[in-house]
Amino acid sequence: MIDHTHNPAALSWVASANEEGSEFPLQNLPYGLFRRAGSNENARVGIAIGDQILDTKIAAAAGKWSSAVSVLLQPLADGDLNAFMAQPAAQRRLLRHALFEALSAGSPQEAALRAALLPQAQAQMAVPCRIGDYTDFYTGIHHATTVGKLFRPDNPLLPNYKWVPIGYHGRSSSIGVSGGTVRRPLGQLKSPDAEVPGFSACKRLDYELELGAFVAAGNALGEPIPMAQADEHLFGLTLLNDWSARDVQAWEYQPLGPFLAKNFGSTISPWIVSMEALEPFRIAFEHPASDPQPLPYLDSAKNRAEGGYDIELEVWLQTESMRAKGEPATRLMRSNFRHAYWTLAQMLTHHASNGCNLQPGDLLGTGTLSGPDAAEGGSLLELSMGGKQDLRLPNGETRKFLQDGDTVILRGYAQREGARRIGFGDCSATIVAAPALS
């Protein structure tokens, strides 16, 4: 699926898109939902290009488009990304090609579309689509093993892990967009030496470094999605921080798994990077020869050849003290999506394998994406070894878990020789104090 829209030499008439290290070059063109900051106008879908946003409402009216492209632009202009997500993959590629050509250097559309640009700094971003359902998987085997050792030293990785993509049903209503706040939750806690639990503010608040995959066209109830069709049902990726109350989690997670420790808040980055933009970063995927191999319904030649993605992921932290002193955020870790134990196609296929009907805009979280080294842990639970050791920051502060006022920033990008770097934009949120106990 590599085509002219991936040509690394292609430049845009939007100058900032051509700058070295730009998150949003011409080869990216991710989708987001926005309105002009301070306005009451209806939100519409925008396309990130350099440090600008192409307003599809203005572009649809001002540009010169084929009738087929005009039809595809209309739901975006109306702010209904879900309706566009539901289009067949060929139609989604048609619009990508049209936008690429319209924003390319020398395009005859330049004069008409300049008025459709808005600086990103002047936009108020929103959750990019209606997220009907949210499922969080557990595909980070290094995270699963490390956390398993903390909770179950004698049996860290349960036997089903290497056979089935494990997941749980999350809560879509508490998903927010980057730049907001997350309130420290109240919860039922029980320390190991206590006879009975208590109810108080979470003391072990944590982040989780994840990617989120948005579903494109769905499937009818009772009709599975085979591996051969899985890619057609994936729309794009975003960064996802699945905030976790570790002390609440430790007390409540058995026997039915995550509940209040997870559903109080999740944060996503505002831009959805399309699967088409990520085509150059596909990589081979396989389980170690000594591990169980995927069952036939989760296996395909294409998935083995290019089911993985080479996406670098980072977590940054800026404490309240750092912010007050004008000190920048510090990077806590770096890992890569290549370390995931299951692919996006396997996640989606397994989810629908029992006939579960996925819908456009549904969100699939990957689970925490840690690397094989201890310094590549995708959560403070791992970096602090369950709170047993301090993580020392450059300004002398220490952390085992998050404190009020801390801002956590997830960053991600895909890059390789012979391709333009594709970024996701920041996924950030700041912790605020728990509500008062009544």
- Catalytic positions: 143
Q: What is the distance between the alpha carbons of residues 246 and 154, in angstroms, rounded to a whole number?
A: 20
Q: What is the distance between the alpha carbons of residues 211 and 313, in angstroms, rounded to a whole number?
A: 9
Residue 222 CB coordination number (10 Å): 9
37 closest CA partner among 152, 132, 123: 123
Q: Is 74 annotated as a binding residue?
A: no
Q: Is 297 annotated as a binding residue?
A: no
Q: What burial class does residue 396 get, using C-beta atoms within 10 Å of its C-beta: 0-12 exposed, 13-18 middle, 19+ buried?
A: exposed
Q: Is 368 annotated as a binding residue?
A: yes
Q: What is the distance between the alpha carbons of residues 88 and 216, in angstroms, rounded to a whole number?
A: 8
Find out whether 279 and 302 touch, Cβ atoms under 8 Å: no
3-class SS string, the chain:
CCCHHHCCCCCECCHHHHCCCCCCCCCCCCEEEEEECCCCCCCEEEEEECCEEEEHHHHHHHCCCCHHHHHHHHHHHCCCHHHHHCCCHHHHHHHHHHHHHHHECCCCCHHHHHHHEEEHHHEEEECCCCCCCEEEECCCHHHHHHHHHHHCCCCCCCCCCCCCCCEEECCHHHEEECCEEEECCEEEECCCCCCCCEEEECCCEECCEEEEEEECCCCCCCCCCCHHHHHHHEEEEEEEEECEEHHHHHHHCCCCCCCCCCCCCEEECCCEEECCCCHHHEECCCCCCCCCCCCHHHCCHHHHHHCEECCEEEEEEECHHHHHCCCCCEEEEEEEHHHCCCCHHHHHHHHHCCCCCCCCCCEEECCCCCCCCHHHCCCHHHHCCCCCCCEECCCCCEECCCCCCCEEEEEEEECCCCCCCEECCCEEEEEECCCCCC
Q: Is 262 annotated as a binding residue?
A: yes
Q: Is 242 annotated as a binding residue?
A: yes
Q: Is 138 annotated as a binding residue?
A: yes
Q: Is 27 annotated as a binding residue?
A: no
Q: Is 101 annotated as a binding residue?
A: no
Annotated binding site for substrate: 138, 152, 249, 253, 368
As annotated, the binding site includes 136, 138, 152, 208, 210, 242, 249, 253, 262, 266, 368
Q: Which residue ranges are tagged as binding site for Ca(2+)?
A: 136, 208, 210, 242
Residues contributing to the annotated binding site for Mg(2+): 242, 262, 266
